[in-house]
Amino acid sequence: MNKREVIAAVAERSGVNPEDCAKVLDSFEDVFTEEITGSKWKNAAFEQIYGLLNLIKEKKNNKQSNLS
């Protein structure tokens, strides 16, 4: 999935227009890059990605629980 496809999918699922999704994802990328670049820990990138994936998984599980 490329960036354009991610933006389209997020826009469709969230109901937010694609332009706003693009702004948010670009800002997220900037913040994420700054955090990784500024980190002195060699495994910081993996820790950040793991944390992000856990957050996404938790949100998805909460959404599914609310639908039940």
Q: Tens digits of per-residue pLDDT, 49-64?
A: 878 888 888 887 887 7
Q: Tens digits of per-residue pLDDT, 4-48?
A: 999 999 999 999 999 999 999 899 888 888 877 766 655 666 777
Number of other CB atoms surrounding residue 7 within 10 Å: 20
Whole-number Å distance between alpha carbons of 36 and 48: 8
Give the pLDDT score at 23: 93
Q: Considering the entire predicted model, what is its pTM?
A: 0.54
- In angstroms, the Cα distances linking 52 to 48, 67, 68 are 6, 23, 25
